[in-house]
Amino acid sequence: MWISKPDSIGDEALLLAYRGVLDEDERTRMGRLRFPEDRHTYLVAHALARSALSRYEDRDPAEWRFVSNEHGRPEIHPRHRSSLRFNLSHTRRVVACGVAIDRSIGVDVESAERRIDIEEVARQQFADDEYRALVALPEDRRRARFLEYWTLKEAYIKARGRGLDLPLDSFSLDLSEEEPITVSFDDRAGDDPAAWQFMQCWLSPSDSLAVAIPRRGNDLDVTIREVVPMAP
């Protein structure tokens, strides 16, 4: 797992190098963003993804090309014949890129500072047992637990490549502190609980990170490295 903090990256020569590795589609998408902060985060995020992939295969960051699946998930272009899969997520403070070999990966990072009615969103979006577990907590613990549920759910649907086509209440996560994170599915999700493993952690008091990846034994070992993309 590769992490960058956009606010700490301001060297103009480095930012120019980032712009140089983006393809035309990425530059167009970045240019459509309204706020300079969002354009900066986008630039760092996509430079991170390209440089992270180049750590695994001998390819210049500018050479990577991408396509999107039918639900909009970015994938490495088939012409590269790469065994790598990746997923990218960011807040304004943190960018996270997960890379896996020969299997899908889903990554989500969210900020606890988002102004949302967590109980109402959980009531509408979460499985019933998740909602009950959330509201049973002391009030001062609910926001953190909501973010843990939310990032794990987003990571899973991203790993499935389904996006919002997969309802968030079609599966339920058990965050019992004594056990590894487990999942159950209803018929809409159509999946096997034994096929998945999850990781959740807090990168800071305000930023929650989750990873979902298909299981190969008990092999989930996520190493988090904070880097400045393409820095000497």
75 within some domain: yes
Q: What is the pLDDT of residue 54?
A: 97
The answer on 149 and 132 residing in a single domain is yes
Query: Please, what is the end-to-end C-alpha distance for the chain in angstroms?
Result: 20
The answer on 73 and 7 residing in a single domain is yes
Q: What is the pLDDT of residue 72?
A: 78
15 within some domain: yes
200 within some domain: yes
Show the tokens assigned to 160: 């499935």
Ramachandran angles phi, psi of 111, nearest 5°: -100, 135
* Boundary (domain end) residue, out of 101, 117, 135: 101
Mean pLDDT by 10 residues, the chain (232 residues): 96 97 95 95 97 96 91 89 95 94 94 89 95 95 95 95 84 86 92 93 93 82 92 84
The answer on 13 and 87 residing in a single domain is yes
Q: What is the pLDDT of residue 218?
A: 66
Per the structure, how many domains does the chain have? 2
Q: Judging by DSSP bridges, how do beta strands 2-4 and 225-226 pair with one another?
A: parallel
Q: What is the pLDDT of residue 153?
A: 96
The answer on 122 and 71 residing in a single domain is no
The answer on 175 and 93 residing in a single domain is no
Q: Using a cut of 0.85, tell me whether the model's pTM lies above it.
A: yes
Show the tokens assigned to 69: 């699946």
Q: What is the DSSP letter of 126?
A: S
**Domain span holding position 31:** 2-101
* Boundary (domain end) residue, out of 50, 76, 101: 101
Q: What is the pLDDT of residue 132?
A: 96
Q: What is the pLDDT of residue 177?
A: 74
The answer on 184 and 119 residing in a single domain is yes
Residue 159: CB partners within 8 Å, gap ≥ 6? 87, 104, 105, 106, 196, 212, 213, 214
55 within some domain: yes
Question: Which amino acid appears at position 79 of this protein?
Answer: R
45 within some domain: yes
The answer on 130 and 46 residing in a single domain is no
CATH of the domain at 70: 3.90.470.20
* Boundary (domain end) residue, out of 101, 117, 148: 101
The answer on 59 and 154 residing in a single domain is no
Ramachandran angles phi, psi of 68, nearest 5°: -115, 140
